[in-house]
Chains A and B, each alone.
Chain A
Amino acid sequence: MSDEFVTTVPDAALELALSRIASSTAAGEGSDMQGLRLDEVVVNMGPQHPSTHGVLRLVVTLDGEMVKDVIPVIGYLHRCKEKLAEKRTYYQYIPIPDRTEYVAGMNCEWGYVMTVEKLAGIRPTRRAEVIRVIMAELNRIASHLVAVGTFTADLAPLGTAMVFYMFRDREQILDLLESASGARMMFNYFRFGGVRYDLPDGWVEKCREFLDGFPKMVQEYESLVETNAIFLQRCLGKGVISQQDVVDYAITGPNARASGVAHDLRRTRPYSVYPELDFDLCLGQHGDVYDRYKVRIEEMKQSRAIILQCLDMLPKGPVQVGSLKPPYVITPPPGAVYTAQENPRGEYGTYIVSDGSRYPYRLKYRDPCFINLQIFPKLLSGNKIADAVAISGSMDLVLGGIDR
């Protein structure tokens, strides 16, 4: 094998790619590289690459410009979170789900805390429920800003403008979250039965101020991108996920809603105070790259509406169940529970098996990006490599969740 991108030992993924070429070419030759002929080449994108978001490695089989096959290789960010759970008490473990989908930390913490509360039978206070929704929706806006910003950055150089504007606006959200929880990204804010700190003075006013200026920002993004013929040419009709694919591959979140499947856990399996809130589901019709972008922009607007309603109905009261301190050591009764919440990327859930002791017996994450990544080989094959970059950017992957 004279493929010069192979290091000393070709690993399993590269061997698989080359063997697939071998089994599909008539001559039975495994690799193509005689000198520099460009028949089917196996090219390694990542794990360090400017446009795969995070340490994702794609072993791409190219035929000229067309992608024939993609083998995603993950595990470069595996931090054994599921095994860690078995040696930490429930309370000690709270900062860790933050770090799975680190762009949407509040949502991930909520996914874990919700399951433990159901296991242990703890009901959070009403004020805490409303604050949780506010934080989760703010984090949803921030996460979508990152998703759309980095997606347009892949179509560069338009992205160099869009990404900076979006990150500038995301700074305001991070300031809000920092003044409430103390951290910009790894919040460690949720507790069993409530949240750690109450909102500081003036937080509600600052939040309203931000939300007042938000529609104008969204309009700026839309006008920059949607009036641009080149952008449309690269997005319309590319990377279509059919509705049958959504069902077969269990795709959730904006990726599924862009194909017209109205699957949103805030509606289909409501939790917290979502039944009392009035918001629309953003659905697309064509399931292509443009629709996924558009659904995220619309969801940002809907999140704004949700936060405004929550700020209006924010009740007074304690933010934590119990008198003075949050419960540090809880021992839920034996059993197994799965709950999920609507992460900006899809259905994020945890399945916890408890044996009555202080430590979880088994913690399993249902991570949306891990599952959304499975459709990549089918989605990217037959497209050109530049389209492949745009399509993978539109799927909004965060490697922290994929690898855990």
Chain B
Amino acid sequence: MGIEIGSVKLSMDELATRVAQEFAGELTNVSVQEPDTIVARLERSELRQVARRLHDLAEIAYDSLNWIAAVDYRTHLESVYHLYSYATNTYLELHVEVPRAKAAVETVCDIWPAADWHEREAWDLMGIRYEGHPDLRRILLKDDWIGHPLRKDYVDLAENHPHV
């Protein structure tokens, strides 16, 4: 036995309609990007419960988190979640809009353990705070770095380079 990949065979359109129906209120702008990705938007207030339900869905559960990216769209930030379903062998891309002013969103660490370091990296480089994360500290930059470099309005301060 064990984990089977692609045991549930649905066409992308069927799958997209099913997901859209399942999460009728929460997921908006559901579309299919060939060959095997469903793209949708999600409000950040509904992230956790949708994430929990996606993880526990019957048959087509999105049980694996592939990556979390943080993108800076000048007017707002976005936390992009890329999920994978072993049963259907398809991906689901969720875009969660995060305001620039108080950039915070809830963590999904307890739902998908793989989210841990992705969220730390998004905090480190983009400055999105993941509430409820067990250990949110910088991961790639040194601990006392000031600023979040991947932001479009990042200015590099001299304090960050004391040895230069």
Contact = CB atoms under 8 A, between A and B. Distances in A.
Q: Do A and B share a direct contact in the complex (Cβ within 8 angstroms)? A: yes
A262 interface: yes
Interface in A47-100: 74-75, 78, 80, 82-83
Interface residues of B, number: 39
A158 B120 CA distance: 39
Interface string B74-110: 0000001010101001010100000000000000000
A94 B58 CA distance: 42
Contacts of B131: none
Contacts of A246: 3
B142 A75 contact: yes
Contacts of A403: 140
A262 B114 contact: no
A364 interface: yes
Contact of B6 (A16, A268, A353, A373): A268
Given A269-B36, A364-B69, A247 B64 contact: yes
A314 interface: no
B67 A351 contact: yes
A80 B2 contact: no
A403 B142 CA distance: 12
B28 to A, nearest CB: 17
Q: How many A residues touch the partner, as a band?
A: 35 or more
Interface string B135-146: 101111111000
B114 A248 contact: yes
Given A83-B150, A248-B114, A362-B71, A261 B5 contact: yes
Contacts of B26: none
Name the residue in B64, B89, B116 with the highest tally of chain A Cβ atoms < 10 Å from its Cβ: B64
A110 interface: no
A81 B25 CA distance: 38
B66 A362 contact: no
A370 interface: yes
Interface string A359-381: 00110101000110110000000
B3 A250 contact: no
Interface in B2-17: 2-3, 5-6
A136 B37 CA distance: 25
A75 B141 contact: yes
A309 interface: no
B2 A75 contact: no
B140 A75 contact: yes
A189 interface: no
Contacts of A404: 140
A250 B141 contact: no
Contacts of A351: 67, 69, 80, 82
A250 B150 CA distance: 25
B6 A243 contact: no
Interface of B: 2-3, 5-6, 33, 35-37, 63-67, 69, 71-72, 80, 82, 84, 86, 89, 91, 93, 112-114, 116-117, 125, 135, 137-143, 149-150
Given A243-B3, A362-B71, 16 more contacts: A12-B143, A75-B141, A83-B149, A247-B63, A248-B112, A248-B113, A248-B114, A249-B114, A250-B65, A261-B2, A261-B3, A338-B37, A361-B71, A364-B69, A370-B117, A374-B116
15 contacts: A11-B143, A75-B138, A75-B139, A80-B149, A248-B64, A248-B113, A250-B67, A261-B2, A261-B86, A268-B6, A268-B89, A351-B67, A351-B69, A366-B82, A373-B117
